[in-house]
A and B are shown apart, each in its own frame.
Chain A
Amino acid sequence: MTRQTRTGPLETADRVIGFPLSRIEGPLKVTGTAPYAAEHQSADMLHGFVALATIASGRIARIDTADAAAFPGVVKIYTHDNRPRTAWWDSAWKDEVALPGHPFRPLENDRVLFDGQPVAFVVANTFEAARDAAALIRITYEADQPKTSIEVESEKSYVPKEKRSGIAPPPSPRGNADEAFAAAPFKLSSNYTLEGEHHNPMELFATTVLYEGEGRLTIHDKTQGSQNSQGYVCGIFELKPENVRVFNTYVGGAFGSGLRPKHQLFLATMAALDLKQSVQLELSRREMFYLTWRPATVQTVKMAADDNGKLTAILHHAVQATSLYEDYQEVVVNWSGLLYRCDNVKLTYELAEMTVSTPGDMRAPGAATGVFALESAIDELSYQVGLDPLDMRVRNFVHVDQNQDLQLTSKALHACYRQGAERFGWEKRLHAPRSMHDGPDLVGWGMATGVWEAQLTEATARARLSADGSVTVSAAASDIGTGTMTILAQIGAEAFGVDAEHVTVRIGDSQLPKTSVEGGSWTAASTGSAVAAAATAVRQTLLDAAKDMDASPFGKDVTVEQTAIRDGRLVLEINDQVGVALTDILASKNLTFIEEEAKVAPDAQQAKKFVSYTHAAHFVEVMIDEELGVIRVTRVVTAVAAGRILNPKTARSQILGGVVMGIGMALHEEGMIDHRTGRIMNHNLAEYHVPAHADIHDIEVIFVEEHDDKASPIGVKGLGEIGIVGIAAAVANAIYHATGTRVRHLPITIDKVFYAKEAAE
């Protein structure tokens, strides 16, 4: 059961901004009538199935497709021997969010770079024929020694030569962290390990390519950016953008997995162009384990404090896994120079090359990983100093970004600490580990801070007001299950004074106005602001038209901000008796609608002074059966400061999802690799564990008031990722408080608290 604390302007009866509107596409989704990428059909559709490499490193010596090709219904089998030619230069293969290195090219040559690499693609009349034929392909490999252990490979780590776009490298050291560390009365040096985590959204990666005639394609792709997929296939296959239209109208969860195009898009498009026929390819659940994943990471945090608990030194070093062909990078360590006041900071970040598929963004990439280490370390240090863990954090509060020497647009983290602690009952906490009980169970109360960037990206949107008062807003943006459609409807409703149900939202279509991929928690702020700006532009045009009318009630000086639309009339905000019917205004110009487009972009001047982050304070209760080691997360209170909350319902769902995923990160998720072969062995949802209902209990979400007029034009900061950042640390800290055992290796499975020592004996 979960509860909700409502803050914000809910008193309004209109279903506009601030109203807890249910997802507008919800009925379609729960009745199975919202078509996902693999659910679009055509009469002559061909179906694909991918054969996967069964070694992690080496080359294909021989590939025998004779039996498979003879299988009834098989149309063609593609391997590196017969794959159609594609663009030569890497630049043509680079998608919008590509990484330094060489983008993976499916079926390019005989090299195997990672376990599960696609090595053959079967196209047949039915899915079943393609799948059954794929099982008949016989491949002989020459295998090399795999490199898949982050503990081993981190010994050969390196600083990435080329920085990933948009990912800040660690800031230069400030002060003298080594000296300050050596001189401090309280200090620790701890190592933290994260095993690789694998995306498993409900919807699998899938692409339906509808062949519309010579060089013209309609593509339904499971992606976080229809225009990114469009650009990708146009680049590789040298197609004209006007001939390729990509839809991602409905996306069944993505969490970062769909930021970059996946090989199913390439393979299905390649086959459709080659065979001049429509092709559908849906990947298997198993293949989720060979795609975008949260990289295994080893971290060392050295942290020191003075007698008052003031931090005097922080040294944070991280090494993350990447592939042989791309340098994936995240912001892992920078948070340690940002979140608390500290004048002696040294942050370093390196990569370790492994025989794995390139890692990728997974909900709060970098922060989820780095803040786990940071928030575990400051918790450890608080016990050394003898301070309450919350007090320790409050004492080190900082109002600026010391990494970049910038001001913050807002930081209502104090309010998060205060309101979260109050709701949780933190003041009743007994400080000593193992001091709280519930019957025979040990009780642990832990907390952690969360932080994530609040970003605005370039976005364009269109708004249309029709004579009947109906409104359409559109942008290429994606709704990956977050509620984007719903909040855009609410923004349109607010701007035009109508109920959200009169607003049609069109997104998920590459032909619509340009936005970036949906990710980084930036869509609500960016596309939301663009929709608001487009709506304002429409209202300006409308007002201008009204002023042109004979006997117009609007004087020349009336501004658009002074007007409102009520009951189908453009009126003065202060006196809605003064106004004109929309139909009359449009008729005066012989129009049936007014449509405008608007674009928002980051303010370069503002960026020289300000930077923006969301914050959270998480409070977690665990109960542990001391004899058996069974851990239950019985209560979570998460207080979030994320600027303006557009829709408390979808916002709360975002945070709940983040918290649940964070609990999974803390206790369950772990790709298990057989390092002898470099292969992931638990590649299914029976053995790769995520929380079940029984693992999730009471989660309470608080949105604290945070006014921010700089983060984005509509005051929104974004919510997709902040819910997970810090949760794993809060759980680990609660487990320490309960048991006195500090586990620094995620996930904290049942054996790690009580049985590790006994088993070793």
Chain B
Amino acid sequence: MRQFSYLRPTGISDAVAALAAEPTAQLLAGGTNLVDLMKYDVAQPSAVIDINGLPLKEIETLEDGAYRIGALTTNSQVAYDAGIARDVPLLSSAILAGASPQLRNAATSGGNLSQRTRCYYFYDPSTPCNKREPGSGCSAIGGVNRIHAILGASDACIATHPSDMCVALAALNATVEVTGPTGARTIPFLDFHRLPGDHPERDNTLQTGEIVTGIRVEGGRFAAHHSYLKLRDRLSYAFALVSVAAALDLDGDTILDARVALGGVAHKPWRDPLAEAELSGQPATRDTFEAFASRLLSGAKGQGHNDFKIPMAKKAIVRALMQAASGRPQVQSEKRVREGESL
């Protein structure tokens, strides 16, 4: 841990100005990730800008039935919000699949988007890591890589994004609201996180000085047919090896619209809109889902220890879609994985 200066702005513009003025500063919200990273000497911010005083703690219902979730709402607040639980249950479920009650009480929505990878090497400053120290190399390639990416990785980085919440938000085509030195803008969720490419040090597409202020997510549409299924190395309190956020809009057993996002497999929540589009008009059957899963994983590449994630992801996709189609979503407090009755 290094010494840092500490700022506590009370307005968004103050926070933006502080962040823009000091590019090596970092924002502190719930602190559940940043404080760890600072203790491990992975994060070395010159300044910590504590934004907990900003007025971003509300969940608003918008006229079109959508929700605007303030960046400083806690994970618990969102997961147990009556409106979200009713209208956006996929989001509630994904949040409850992650972390522990204590962490969810502290962690925020904006912070969830900005959390860093759990790659063992990223977390250990004594090892080369392009994400932590650009140009130093990727130790995970050829190293211990059980938890690493099978999709969208590069020669520079095979890290995964660890969030559960973001997987649901990706499936739901949420938008991220940000404010920066030049004003406010929105970023489609799928464009918020990025693949590592040659710049794995950049997790997302935020510009210098930009702060996430909120997340907008559509309500109602997939409430009847959704599921968040997470497979991991123990039955709770572990990051996903593979997770699936599945959402279906059905007419009888015919698919009108399908969304599938994968967690634990790539540098960002993974979606394939083209493959999803082809599901429209097809029957919601196991055969349909198996073909879709194979297509989604067709470009997957294992790194050795994580080769099992490829067949695992296929099976998880099928199960999550079966659960969604049958209207029997996985309940996170149930440790038995629901079957998803045949249609």
Contacts and interface: CB of A to CB of B under 8 A. Distances in A.
Nearest to B233: A689
B231 A750 contact: yes
B3 A132 contact: yes
Interface in B138-157: 139, 142-144, 146-147
A437 interface: no
Nearest to B332: A694
Interface stretch (A169-177, A232-240, A665-673, A734-742): A665-673
A686 B144 contact: no
Interface string A723-761: 000000000000000000000000001110001101110
Contacts of A686: 118, 239
B308 A759 contact: yes
A681 interface: yes
B312 interface: yes
Contacts of B337: 625, 628, 630
Interface in A109-148: 128, 131-132, 135
Given A750-B241, A755-B308, A672 B234 contact: no
Contact of A632 (B235, B302, B311): B235
Give chain A's interface residue range (CB within 8 Å of chain B): 35 or more
A684 B238 CA distance: 12
B37 to A, nearest CB: 12
A81 interface: no
Contacts of A135: 1-2, 41
B120 A692 contact: no
B308 A751 contact: yes
Contact of B144 (A132, A440, A672): A672
Contact of B336 (A132, A441, A689): A441
Given A695-B235, A750-B241, A674 B144 contact: yes
B272 interface: no
Nearest to B120: A681
A242 B142 CA distance: 55
Given A676-B143, A681-B120, A751 B312 contact: yes
A628 B147 contact: no
B342 to A, nearest CB: 11
A687 B144 CA distance: 12
A629 interface: yes
A511 interface: no
B329 to A, nearest CB: 15
Given A135-B41, A686-B118, A759-B307, A692 B1 contact: no
Interface string A602-639: 00000000000000000000010101111010000000
Contacts, number: 103
Q: B1, B232, B302, B312 — which one has the most chain A CB atoms within 10 A of its CB?
A: B312
A674 B234 contact: no
A136 to B, nearest CB: 9
Nearest to A749: B233
Contacts of A128: 1
B318 to A, nearest CB: 8
A83 B307 CA distance: 48
A682 interface: yes
B144 to A, nearest CB: 4
Contacts of A166: none
B232 to A, nearest CB: 8
Contacts of B1: 128, 131-132, 135
A440 B143 contact: no
B126 A692 contact: no
A693 interface: yes
A32 interface: no
Contacts of B307: 759-760
A673 B237 CA distance: 22
Given A441-B336, A625-B336, A687-B118, A693 B236 contact: yes
Contacts of B238: 689, 692
A695 B236 contact: yes
A439 interface: yes
A54 B126 CA distance: 6
Nearest to B337: A625
A759 B233 contact: no
B315 interface: yes
Contacts of A694: 234-237, 335
A686 B318 CA distance: 28
A473 to B, nearest CB: 40
Nearest to A685: B237
Contacts of A681: 120-121, 124, 143-144
Contacts of A687: 118, 120, 147
A756 B147 CA distance: 15
A97 B77 CA distance: 53
A623 B235 CA distance: 13
Contacts of A692: 234-238
A407 B282 CA distance: 73
Contacts of A439: 339
A54 B128 CA distance: 12
A692 B143 CA distance: 27
Interface string B201-238: 00000000000000000000000000000011111111
A657 interface: no
B162 to A, nearest CB: 10
Given A681-B120, A681-B124, A750-B241, A759 B311 contact: yes
Given A668-B233, A672-B146, A758 B336 contact: no
B143 A674 contact: yes
B328 to A, nearest CB: 12
Contact of A684 (B123, B146, B237): B123
24 contacts: A135-B1, A625-B336, A627-B315, A628-B319, A630-B235, A672-B120, A676-B143, A677-B127, A681-B124, A681-B144, A684-B123, A686-B239, A689-B238, A691-B234, A692-B237, A693-B236, A694-B236, A694-B237, A695-B236, A750-B232, A750-B241, A751-B312, A759-B308, A759-B310
Given A695-B235, A755-B308, 10 more contacts: A132-B2, A623-B336, A630-B337, A632-B235, A668-B234, A672-B120, A681-B121, A682-B144, A750-B231, A758-B311
Interface of B: 1-3, 41, 118, 120-121, 123-124, 126-127, 139, 142-144, 146-147, 231-239, 241, 302, 307-308, 310-312, 315-316, 318-319, 335-337, 339
